[in-house]
Amino acid sequence: MDMEGRWQKRFSIFRGDEFKSEIMSTNNPFKKLANNSKESAKKWDNEKTISSIETITCKQCGAPRPANTLLKTCAFCGYQFMDASVDIKAGHTKQG
Amino acid sequence: MKDTLIQRWDHFLEKITIRFEESLIQGKAAVMESLEDNDYDYYASYRALRAIEMQIRSSLIEKIDITWIEQVEPSMRADGGIYWADESRKGYRLQDELSDRLSVWVNITEGHLSQKYYDHAIQLIHQDFKCTQCHAPLEVKKNFFLSQYVTCGYCNTVNTFEPQTKYATIGWNIINNIAALHSMEAYDAVRKTPREDRRAYEQALRNYYEKYFDERIKLMPHSAATRERDIELEIKKMM
């Protein structure tokens, strides 16, 4: 160990680092609890492992929805997506 | 006999305190390490934290009471005198103190665990997302942990961005825990203010919730829109 290493070691005693690392390096009794928790974790079917980008397209003409258009009809061919008595428009006008 | 019994009782309480300190260090290390071991499954690590808390409570804090009732009190009573009453208070005082410290430890560890999770998960959407129609790059809004509409600047198509679960989890309670961690001082002031002094208590609550929601806004800027309403609602709930 070089001079700097020896000084680091001496100072670590005063800081309590050695005591801390001794506690952590010995068998941590709580590790078992953490492992149990990992092993008993429920695997969710609907967990999404990658982020995705999708576009809903018209069933009739295949066109995607342009921004600021109504949600109940296709802006290209007029195909009715849903039976609604009111006009529904996406609220996020800035984003679409 | 009195001195020996008191000495043994003191020694026992001292050993409990030392073991408690060690357990907090080991417990925190196990919780923090578990996040990498379980591939950043936050809830598995959170369950580990709660299990560790329960173990420390039952094996150390409750042990004070059990040892007192089953061993120390009968010996001291049999020895005569009433010094056992002071010794009893000594044990219960330590029990309350450790219990209080354990609760604070859980909150702090939960905050640090959340911060570690955040540092990992926030990077998960640092990638290029492209329009499904023209493949032009899309500008996905960062620090927004829900699905969002993203309009393509080139072809005007509305794309739906759906974040992966690990990223979306940040918006569930990770941010709340980090905000709480950074507001611990203000929370401590609430705990120290007596509820009977309604004006002082309300002011302490206001200070805490202002700090808490400001910390939250740093990580989730769109929550600024409801800041005032959120603060008032929380204060109303607590009063």
CB pairs < 8 Å spanning A and B? 127
From A23, A37, A44, residue closest to B22, measured CB to CB: A23
| A27 token code pair | 């068998």
**Residue given tokens 């702090």 in the structure block:** B108
> Cα Rg for chain A, rounded, in angstroms?
31
Cβ separation A41–B52 shorter than 8 A? no
Q: Which chain B residues have a beta carbon less than 8 Å from that of A47?
A: 165
Rounded-to-integer distance, Cα B15 and Cα B192, Å:
29
pLDDT at A26: 58
Cβ separation A24–B133 shorter than 8 A? no
Residues of chain B with pLDDT under 70: none
Rounded-to-integer distance, Cα B156 and Cα B80, Å:
89
**Sign of the CA dihedral running A80, A84, A87, A93:** negative
Cβ separation B38–A38 shorter than 8 A? yes
Q: Which chain A residues have a beta carbon less than 8 Å from that of B125?
A: 51
Q: Please choose, from the candidates B106, B104, B99, B156, the residue with its C-alpha nearest in 3D space to the C-alpha of residue B133.
A: B156
pLDDT at A24: 54
Helical spans, DSSP H, in B68-197: 73-79, 83-121, 165-169, 175-181, 184-192
Residue B228 neighbours by CB distance under 10 Å: 11
pLDDT at A10: 46
pLDDT at B32: 96
- Amino acid identity of residue B184, one-letter, is M
Element (H, E) at A52: strand A52-54
Question: pTM for the full model?
Answer: 0.82
* pLDDT tens column, A8-42: 554 444 444 544 555 555 589 999 999 998 888 88
Q: What is the ipTM of this complex?
A: 0.75
CB environment B92-105: b (16+ within 10 A), e (fewer): eebbeebeeebeeb
pLDDT at A14: 42
Give the CA distances from residue B197 to residues B187, B191, B192, B193, B201, in Å, rounded to whole numbers and listed in that order.
16, 12, 11, 8, 6
CA distance A49 to chain B (A): 5
Residue A93 pLDDT > 90, yes or no? no
Strands B148-151 and A52-54: unpaired
**What residues of chain A, 47 to 86, have a C-beta less than 8 Å from chain B?**
47-56, 64-67
Mutate to test the interface with A, among B50, B106, B147, B149 (most CBs of A within 10 A): B149
pLDDT at A95: 44
Cβ separation A54–B160 shorter than 8 A? yes
Residue A90 pLDDT > 80, yes or no? no
Cβ separation A54–B124 shorter than 8 A? no
* pLDDT tens column, A44-82: 888 899 999 999 889 999 999 888 888 888 989 989 888
From A47, A55, A90, residue closest to B159, measured CB to CB: A55
pLDDT at B82: 87
Cβ separation B149–A55 shorter than 8 A? no
pLDDT at A13: 43
| B230 token code pair | 């959120």
Residue A7 pLDDT > 50, yes or no? no
* pLDDT tens column, B184-206: 999 999 999 999 999 999 999 99
Cβ separation A51–B25 shorter than 8 A? no
